[in-house]
Amino acid sequence: MYTKSVIIPRHLVKGDLIGIAAPASSFDVAEFDKGASVLESMGFRLIIPDGIYRRRGYLAGSDVERAELLNELFKNRQVKAIICARGGFGSTRLLQYLDYKAIRENPKIFVGFSDITAILSALYIKCRLVTYHGPMITTLGQADRMTRESLMSVLLSDSKFELKPKNCFVIQSGVAAGPVVGGNLSILCSLMGTPAQPDYNGRILFLEERSEAPYRIDRMLIHMRQAGCIERLAGLILGSFEGCGQYDEVMEIVADIIRDFDFPVMAGFEAGHGRTNLAFPMGLEAILDTEERALSFLKDFLE
């Protein structure tokens, strides 16, 4: 089983300290404050380093500054989880500066999505750390109830976890088992050929995207197919494709590109850049069952 080699971080209890990192773009302070208030209302204490308010062009400080802020939060034994302030741009720039040894020695819940896909992938590959694809501070203030409840479940629960999207539909039927990897499609394409590229063989791939025209979605998926990222997948799950044209049109592109493969494919997961962004673990073994219309993770979060 793949899960034998991964590190599953311990869940939180109310009152625990959550650190806020800004590994990518700078952010709107008003949106940040709203999201921070949501986390505090959930019963957590926050550590907000002064450094996250830096601005360097479209980034939240220099590459070294952003990486060191994240490294220090991992090293801080009082911090029990880390949630990113925002995605945007720049996560791939700091991968070379992360202290992977310190992160392995201080595993904790790490949450983000979008541009943060690069860090989720790097922590899984370099540290074997199970991470969490989910809402960030600047999106929490406007998040719906389902999103907030799913984040609470990820942070607090030590039980098995299952996603059963209410609006999902099947593109190719079947049952698959494997660790879940993936995230934002364009970021995954940018990781190809780098040390942070996920191993797709035998994995269940999750994809989502925002503000990319259908022809660009087509080009990125063809790129992944021609690079050998798709042919040996165990399964494929598709989240939101916000601002990418009609969802059905995007799914038709996906269906055309994967038609030669027989792994199960399910779409309509409420995860990504939509208003609902359900949190779930990345790197953990799961079963994708199109008849049950569910993605079920096989192990308790708490080891």
Residues classed as catalytic: 114, 208, 273
Q: Residue 63 in 3-state DSSP?
A: helix
* Encoded tokens for 133: 């694809």
Beta strands 265-267; 109-112: pairing state:
unpaired
Placement of tokens 């540290």 in the chain? 127
CB neighbour class for 257 (10 Å; exposed up to 12, middle 13-18, buried from 19): middle
Neighbours of 231 (CB within 10 A): 15
Q: Comparing C-alpha atoms, which of 200, 192, 179, 170 is closest to residue 268? A: 170
Q: Comparing C-alpha atoms, which of 117, 144, 145, 142 is closest to residue 131? A: 117
